[in-house]
């Protein structure tokens, strides 16, 4: 396997009225081609800023130090026009709220087609339409040939997230970043979207960065996990190791917040005992 993305000593600083503030401080990680990485941490720990830095989408009041290399080329030193070309083509991103990422005035098909054509100049409308239908089929939107002409409000939240995934994958990117892709969805739909991400990753070979404040969500998919707190990676390890043998107290605290089957059984036993039923005390 070869390295797709390498983030080295990334520091992101905001200019504020109270002076400069580092919101990400000395973060490093590596993502192999086709691999999956979870970034987990509490609100404000710098997860989104990290992903925006990779995509070259940091707000103008933020500046960055360190390196972000895609296939060995440092994106931070590329001209904006080149980064724009890579964005949406080699790397795509989906966000928490699919509704605000979609334009209510255009059919979802039109929006997938436009996103695709922006990166494939010379492609005809007809070809782009075909790509849009196929992309919607890939994310299991039933009756895609008809649904492609529907507008965002005609889709449920989970379906809209499927549309966003279809759009992000239409150009067959090497890297997909999903920033809290299931946070706005209810639990059953959340599980379906995670399954879908897992499936498209297997089928398309795209590498995935999954960002969440929820370690349970990350553990579903990620092979490696970075635990962030206050802009710093407090622990990074293969997911299995992180779960079996967490090193940092903060990781342990996050793990304690993950409900486990044996906890539930323990709780039920407790209830049984309190109710005077079940086995011997």
Ligand X SMILES: Nc1ncnc2c1ncn2[C@@H]1O[C@H](COP(=O)(O)OP(=O)(O)OP(=O)(O)O)[C@@H](O)[C@H]1O
Task: Kindly list the residues in this chain that would bind ligand X in the complex (CB under 6 A).
Answer: 14, 16, 21, 23, 41, 43-49, 59, 61, 213
| Buried-state track 55-69, b at ≥16 Cβ within 10 A, e below 16 | bbebeeebebebebb
User: In the bound complex, what is the minimum distance in angstroms from residue 161's beta carbon to Mg ion?
Assistant: 16
Within 40-69, the residues that bind Mg ion by CB under 5 A are 48
| 199 Cβ contact partners less than 8 Å away, ≥ 6 residues apart | none
In the list Mg ion, ligand X, none, the entry touching 59 (Cβ below 5 to 8 angstroms by class) is: ligand X
23 vs 118 by CB, closer to Mg ion = 23
Backbone angles phi, psi at 55, to 5 degrees: -80, -5
Beta bridge partners of 224: 37, 238
What is the three-class DSSP state of 17?
coil
| Nearer residue to ligand X within complex by CB, 16 or 81 | 16
Q: How far is the CB of 237 from Mg ion (least distance, A)?
A: 22
Nearer of residues 161 and 170 to ligand X, judged by Cβ: 161
Which of Mg ion, ligand X, none binds 46 (CB below 5-8 Å, type-dependent)? ligand X
Of residues 60 and 121, the one with the C-beta less far from ligand X: 60
Would you say 91 or 108 has its CB closer to ligand X? 91
188 binds, among ligand X, Mg ion, none (CB under 5 to 8 A by kind): none
Nearer to ligand X, 48 or 161 (CB): 48
Q: Which does 23 bind (CB under 5 to 8 A by kind): ligand X, Mg ion, none?
A: ligand X
β-pairing verdict for 36-41 and 224-229: parallel
- Choose from Mg ion, ligand X, none: what does 45 bind? Cβ within 5-8 Å by kind: ligand X
Decide: 214 and 181 in contact? Cβ < 8 Å.
no
Residues pairing with 69 in the sheet: 6, 74
H-only helix segments in the chain: 47-55, 80-86, 98-101, 108-119, 125-138, 144-147, 157-169, 187-204, 215-221, 239-244, 249-256, 261-274
Picked from Mg ion, ligand X, none, the partner binding residue 162 (CB below 5 to 8 A depending on kind) is: none
Strand partners, 68: 7
Smallest gap from residue 45 Cβ to ligand X (A): 4
Residues forming contacts to Mg ion in the complex (CB under 5 A) are: 48
């Amino acid at each position: 396997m070869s390295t797709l993305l390498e983030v080295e000593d990334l520091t992101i600083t905001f200019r504020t009225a109270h002076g400069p503030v580092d919101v990400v401080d000395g973060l490093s990680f590596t993502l192999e081609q086709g691999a999956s990485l979870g970034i987990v941490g509490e609100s404000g720990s710098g997860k989104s800023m990290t992903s925006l830095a990779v995509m070259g989408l940091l707000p103008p009041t933020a500046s960055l130090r360190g390196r972000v290399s895609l296939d060995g080329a440092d994106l931070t030193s590329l001209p904006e026009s080149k980064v724009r070309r890579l964005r949406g083509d080699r790397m795509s991103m989906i966000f928490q709220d699919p509704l605000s990422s979609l334009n209510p005035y255009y059919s979802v098909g039109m929006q997938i087609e436009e996103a695709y054509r922006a990166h494939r100049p010379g492609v005809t409308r007809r070809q782009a339409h075909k790509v849009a239908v196929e992309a919607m089929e890939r994310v299991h939107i039933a009756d895609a040939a008809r649904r492609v002409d529907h507008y965002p409000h005609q889709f449920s939240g989970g379906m809209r997230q499927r549309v966003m995934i279809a759009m992000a994958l239409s150009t067959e990117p090497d890297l997909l970043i999903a920033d809290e892709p299931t946070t706005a969805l209810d639990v059953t739909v959340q599980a379906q979207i995670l399954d879908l991400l897992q499936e498209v990753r297997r089928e398309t070979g795209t590498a995935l960065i999954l960002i969440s404040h929820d370690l349970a969500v990350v553990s579903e998919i990620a092979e490696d996990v970075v635990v962030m707190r206050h802009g710093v990676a407090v622990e990074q390890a293969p997911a299995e190791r992180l779960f079996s043998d967490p090193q940092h107290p903060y990781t342990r605290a996050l793990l304690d917040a993950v409900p486990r089957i044996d906890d539930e059984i323990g709780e039920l036993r407790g209830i049984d005992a309190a109710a005077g039923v079940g086995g011997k005390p």
